[in-house]
């Protein structure tokens, strides 16, 4: 269930934002109120995902610390933060200003004063540029906090698409207003700028002129809040294992054990809920075993037996994201939550087992026992 919801978010959010961006370039119709409401909803979801990503990012290793790797599986115990947490407040401020500008332009289309409109547009351009830098900073890297990096990548990519759509639609609205007014400029400079905007639709370059002073104002705000004036640069450079990182990553440290998976950790919840039934043996260590864990392992055993190629793909995906997610389950209450979220998958696994195996309960009960070994 957790994996399913994650996949849905990872697909639907950037897909909607991408479609909105394409629509802004192929359609000249005014955006409906319904579309603006949906935009506001998705933008709030994106910001929520970014904040979750920042929280998980803060749990990652600081630059220069060694990564720990399990000896048995080779899975990482932890990964590096893709953004330096010391300077993350600068990014949060930029995102808040960008989201406020996005909502303001969307809800006051055509009625904002030129200065306010230009400032809001420039802040959104700043968010777009930051998103591009983050994507190029983390793309094709493997040393990061694995759950936070793809989450932030998807979030910033969605933000980029959505902001481009809003800027393009506001430009379309501006040009339409100019054509309706049939403005006649006598000043040659104004006439030149007007021809650029109407004939070539390059108004975004005029917004870029305001980018530098707006960023200076943002940096002044950051200094007032105790942040360094170069924090937007340091947030990328004071990291390890990424493209813009300037602090080398030391050699990893090997640790004993193999880590934990979601079902294994969920079995450590409150006994009245997760109902452990016996002790089990996993790679020579004793673990608490409940029926959910037995069913999940039996299902994997079925995949390994009948569809080894599919099993390899699923196991690779689970190893990549199951380990990082399970590391953050540190209390009985969080284990309870994972147990409940995994329930629909447990039922699905059970249906498959009873469909393809002539003695499903035998396969279930021998999991994590000496009989299987």
pLDDT in tens, 123-141: 888 899 899 999 999 988 7
Residue 161 has a pLDDT of 94
- Together in a domain, 168 and 315: no
Same domain (yes/no): 228, 282: no
Q: Which two tokens stand for residue 366?
A: 């021998």
pLDDT for 186 equals 63
Indicate whether 8 belongs to any domain.
yes
162 or 70: which leads in pLDDT: 162
- Best CA proximity match to 248, nearest among 68, 65, 69, 60: 65
Mean of pLDDT values over 256-275: 63
Write down the mean pLDDT value for the chain: 75
- Burial tier of 50 (Cβ tally within 10 Å: 0-12, 13-18, 19+): buried
Residues 345, 228 within the same domain:
no
Predicted local distance difference test score (pLDDT) of residue 200: 38
Instruction: Count the Cβ atoms, other than its own, within 10 Å of residue 5.
Output: 10
Rg value, the chain, Cα: 26
Taking the whole predicted model, whether its pTM rises above 0.95 is answered as: no
* Residue 349 pLDDT: 86
pLDDT band at 279 (very low <50, low <70, confident <90, very high): confident
Q: Looking up tokens 């694995």, which residue turns up?
A: 146
In a domain, 207, yes or no: yes
Note the pLDDT of residue 108.
75
147 shares its domain with 282: no
Q: How confident is the model at residue 246 (pLDDT cuts 50, 70, 90)?
A: confident
Note whether 169 and 24 are same-domain residues: yes
Q: Are residues 165 and 232 in the same domain?
A: yes
Mean of the pLDDT values across residues 262-281?
69
Asked if the structure places residue 372 within a domain, the reply is: no
- State pLDDT tens for residues 194-223: 554 554 344 445 555 555 555 556 655 555
Confidence band, pLDDT 50/70/90 cuts, at residue 269: confident
For residues 217 and 309, state if they share a domain.
Answer: no
| Domain with 120 in it | 2-254
Alpha-carbon torsion (53, 54, 56, 57), positive or negative: positive
Q: Do residue 239 and residue 113 come from a single domain? A: yes
The better pLDDT of the pair 171, 36 is held by 36
Task: Answer with the residue of higher pLDDT: 341 or 40.
Answer: 40
Q: Which of 72-81, 144-153, 319-328, 354-363 has the highest mean pLDDT?
A: 354-363
245 and 335 in a single domain? The answer is: no
């Amino acid at each position: 269930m957790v994996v399913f919801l994650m996949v849905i978010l990872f697909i639907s959010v950037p897909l909607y934002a991408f479609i909105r961006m394409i629509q802004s370039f192929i359609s000249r119709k005014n955006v409906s109120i319904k579309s603006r409401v949906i935009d506001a909803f998705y933008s709030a979801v994106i910001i929520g995902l970014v904040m979750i990503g920042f929280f998980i990012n803060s749990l990652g290793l600081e630059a220069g610390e060694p990564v720990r790797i399990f000896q048995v599986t080779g899975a990482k115990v932890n990964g590096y933060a893709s953004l330096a947490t010391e300077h993350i407040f600068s990014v949060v401020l930029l995102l808040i200003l960008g989201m406020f500008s996005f909502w303001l332009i969307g809800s006051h289309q055509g009625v904002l004063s030129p200065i306010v409109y230009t400032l809001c547009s420039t802040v959104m351009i700043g968010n777009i540029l930051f998103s591009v830098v983050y994507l190029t900073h983390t793309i094709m890297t493997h040393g990061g906090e694995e759950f936070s990096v793809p989450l932030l990548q998807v979030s910033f990519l969605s933000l980029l698409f959505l902001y481009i759509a809003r800027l393009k639609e506001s430009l379309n609205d501006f040009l339409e207003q100019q054509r309706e007014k049939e403005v006649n400029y006598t000043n040659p400079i104004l006439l030149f700028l007007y021809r650029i905007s109407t004939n070539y639709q390059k108004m975004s370059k005029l917004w870029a002129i305001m980018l530098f002073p707006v960023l200076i104002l943002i940096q002044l705000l950051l200094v007032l809040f105790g942040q360094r004036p170069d924090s937007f640069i340091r947030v990328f450079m004071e990291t390890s294992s990424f493209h813009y990182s300037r602090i080398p990553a030391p050699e990893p440290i090997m640790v004993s054990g193999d880590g934990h998976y979601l079902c294994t950790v969920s079995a450590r919840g409150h006994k009245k809920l997760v109902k452990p039934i016996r002790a089990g043996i996993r790679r020579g260590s004793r673990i608490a075993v409940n029926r959910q864990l037995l069913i999940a392992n039996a299902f994997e055993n079925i995949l390994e037996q009948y569809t080894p190629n599919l099993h390899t793909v699923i196991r690779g995906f689970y190893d990549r994201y199951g380990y990082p997610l399970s590391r953050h389950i540190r209390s009985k209450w969080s284990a309870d939550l994972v147990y409940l979220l995994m329930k629909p998958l447990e039922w699905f696994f059970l249906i498959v087992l009873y469909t393809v195996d002539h003695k499903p309960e035998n396969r279930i009960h021998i999991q994590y026992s000496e009989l299987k070994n």
